[in-house]
A and B are shown apart, each in its own frame.
Chain A
Amino acid sequence: MEDILLIDAVERFLNGEMSPEEKIYFEDLRKNNPELDQAVVEQSIFLQNLGKYSKQRNFQQALQNVEGKLVKEGFISRDTPEPGKVVFLWQKYKKTIAVAACIAGVVSIFMSSLVGSVKTTKNEAGLTPLVVKLNEKVDAQVAKTKNLEGKVRDLETATPVAVKQRLESKFRATGFMIDAGNNYLITNAHVANEAKNHLIVENNNGEQFTAKVVYLNPENDIAIIKIIDPNFKKLGPLPYNFRKNDANLGEQIFVLGFPKQEIVYTEGYISAKNGYQMDTSFCQLVTQANVGNSGSPVINKNGEIVGVISSRETNDAGVVFAVKSVNIFRAADNVSKKDKKENIKISGSNKLRGLSRENQITKMSDYVFMIKGN
């Protein structure tokens, strides 16, 4: 009961409801009694919080009313039926477990909207595809400086490059050549799917070339694309070849990709033979893969392609999943079977074996491209 009397007094004091005499008496008491003083401070913090809380609750009520009205009118559309008012806000503002749960839920929604049909039968909540969404303005600037470097070089070799309109891209990922004679590249299906209107490949010098999708397999997250740009000059034969069987557990690998607007090298090892939820089309690596690494080649020390980076575990950035290289052969076969005009010859003769890593990278990097589009 004493607590209650105290609260009553403090509340009346804070609300200015005390008579002048009572107030003087109370303030005097407060000065000489640290406990009372503490109670006043606490109570005032508490009432402030409660006050703010109640104001916001009332405001949210008003917001809900307006939103409800606008939803009825069709001005605002909600995909899902509106949850109970209070529940909705709990989900949103709960700090700890509820937030985690809520986010997990959102991630899975996201995944399906981003990855599209990638393994729709599976729960994708734990996977993050590694395509980067772009602010092309920043990128264009970097590319411009790169173009400039290129132009200086071009002047020296006296082969001017036609100045082309640069495409405003909405995403960036990686892809690499699998048939240099016919300009076929491999990347992820979730990457190719991002290109709703235009698809381009861009080399490490910032030169862009138009491409088209010739094959999509969301099951294995693989896509084959072809450079159809007349300005693209054919590259020499592939310096690497492709592994037809699984990579070995513990095998050292490296990755070349475009997590930023220039080619980036990372190292790692094969940590499991199968992918997320024991998906046999994939293998698991421990390496650094960032957004933009989707479609990057995974190469072993002998210069064999063992996989194509696809995604990473959402909660563990070091755990990366790559499509096994055997799927590249399967994809190429399927294309040739379906369409006689598209004839993919995966014929790399390995020129990387025994080279130093620096030389391996130099030889390879012309064959790895940024995949962009909008």
Chain B
Amino acid sequence: MDKTEKEKALLAGLAQNDTGSIEIIYREHFQMVKQMVVSNNGSADDASDLFQEAMIVLYEKAGTVDFELNCQLKTFIYSICKRLWLKRLKKQGRFVYIDHMEDTVLVEEETEEHEKSQADFSLMEDALKKLGEPCKSLIEAYYIQKKQMQEIATDFGYTNADNAKTQKYKCLVRLKKLFFAQYKNT
């Protein structure tokens, strides 16, 4: 496989939550990002956090139908990380210029989309937290872990699947209210 093909396969893997692909990307590109962060006032922890965030951006992109990476994966990851890192530093009132250690491409759009989706993400996270138990676990079991109603009923001690389903709906109504209360404010 040539490089482009290999990277295509990696992205496809990423979109499927394939840990093998994730690991390969980590091994090939993490040190580069770490070097950038550490030589620009960041710690090893910052580097790990930043890399995770870049992976989420990549995951978001990889999941869209018409996504095509028109540069090397390395360049894309570096550009995203650099952009996000600069933003982070700026938020702290520190204006820092990062040397171009690697080639970069314009990633404004990607990072902005990412920020929007992260805002939505945290809204949902907040709403779920406010929802409390057992609703939170119930919703997560159904919508995130994609468990069957029968299984959920057993796990949560409901007499049957229908009962579990009713409970899930009740929780969902409350979650929706919590979510939209914030969502409409943004």
User: Which residues of A approach B to under 8 Å, CB–CB?
Assistant: 3-4, 7-8, 42-43, 45-46, 49-60, 62-63, 65-67, 69-70, 75-80, 88-90, 92-95, 103, 106-107, 109-110, 113-114, 128, 132-138, 290-291, 314-315, 317
Q: How many angstroms from the CA of A110 to the CA of B43 in the assembled complex?
A: 9
A133 touches B41 (CB 8 A): yes
Residues in A neighbouring B98, C-beta threshold 8 A: 133, 135
Q: List 26 A-B contacts (CB under 8 A).
A: A7-B169, A42-B176, A49-B124, A53-B144, A54-B143, A59-B56, A59-B59, A63-B52, A63-B56, A66-B23, A76-B30, A76-B44, A77-B44, A79-B45, A80-B45, A88-B49, A93-B121, A93-B122, A95-B126, A103-B91, A110-B92, A128-B94, A133-B96, A135-B98, A135-B99, A137-B100
Residues in A neighbouring B23, C-beta threshold 8 A: 66, 69-70
Given A46-B179, A79-B45, A103-B91, the answer on whether A57 and B122 have CB atoms closer than 8 Å is no
B63 touches A55 (CB 8 A): yes
Known: A88-B49, A291-B95. 5 other contacts (CB 8 A): A43-B176, A52-B120, A55-B63, A56-B59, A132-B95
Residues in A neighbouring B176, C-beta threshold 8 A: 42-43, 46
Instruction: Give per-residue flags for B11-55: 1 if the beta carbon is below 8 A from chain A beta carbons, else 0.
Output: 000000111001100110010001000001101111011001101
B40 touches A133 (CB 8 A): yes
Interchain Cβ contacts within 8 Å, total number? 145
B125 touches A93 (CB 8 A): yes
Given A46-B179, A109-B43, the answer on whether A60 and B26 have CB atoms closer than 8 Å is no
B134–chain A nearest beta-carbon distance, Å: 17
Residues in A neighbouring B118, C-beta threshold 8 A: 93
B173 touches A7 (CB 8 A): yes
Main secondary structure of the interface of A (DSSP, over half): helix
Nearest neighbor of B139 in chain A, beta-carbon distance:
A50
Closest 5 CB pairs of A and B: A135-B97, A54-B144, A53-B124, A4-B169, A93-B122
B2–chain A nearest beta-carbon distance, Å: 25
Interface membership of B166, Cβ < 8 A: yes
Q: How many angstroms from the CA of A290 to the CA of B140 in the assembled complex?
A: 48
B22 touches A128 (CB 8 A): no
User: Which residues of B approach A to under 8 Å, CB–CB?
Assistant: 17-19, 22-23, 26-27, 30, 34, 40-41, 43-46, 48-49, 52-53, 55-56, 59-60, 63, 88, 91-100, 117-126, 139-140, 143-144, 166, 169-170, 172-173, 176, 179-180, 183
Q: How many angstroms from the CA of A88 to the CA of B56 in the assembled complex?
A: 14
Q: How many angstroms from the CA of A51 to the CA of B44 in the assembled complex?
A: 32
A65 touches B19 (CB 8 A): yes
B173 touches A314 (CB 8 A): no
B93 touches A52 (CB 8 A): no
B44–chain A nearest beta-carbon distance, Å: 5
A56 touches B121 (CB 8 A): yes
Main secondary structure of the interface of B (DSSP, over half): helix
Residues in B neighbouring A69, C-beta threshold 8 A: 23
Given A52-B120, A54-B143, A62-B22, the answer on whether A4 and B92 have CB atoms closer than 8 Å is no
B30 touches A75 (CB 8 A): yes
A58 touches B17 (CB 8 A): yes
Name which of B46, B97, B169, B173 has the most chain A CB atoms within 10 A of its CB: B97
Residues in A neighbouring B46, C-beta threshold 8 A: 106
A50 touches B95 (CB 8 A): no
Identify B48's interface contact among A42, A78, A132, A134, CB under 8 A: A78
Identify B43's interface contact among A4, A60, A79, A290, CB under 8 A: A79
Residues in A neighbouring B170, C-beta threshold 8 A: 4
Residues in B neighbouring A55, C-beta threshold 8 A: 63
Q: How many angstroms from the CA of A8 to the CA of B165 in the assembled complex?
A: 10
Q: How many angstroms from the CA of A51 to the CA of B99 in the assembled complex?
A: 39
B112–chain A nearest beta-carbon distance, Å: 16
A75 touches B27 (CB 8 A): yes
Residues in A neighbouring B93, C-beta threshold 8 A: 128, 314-315, 317
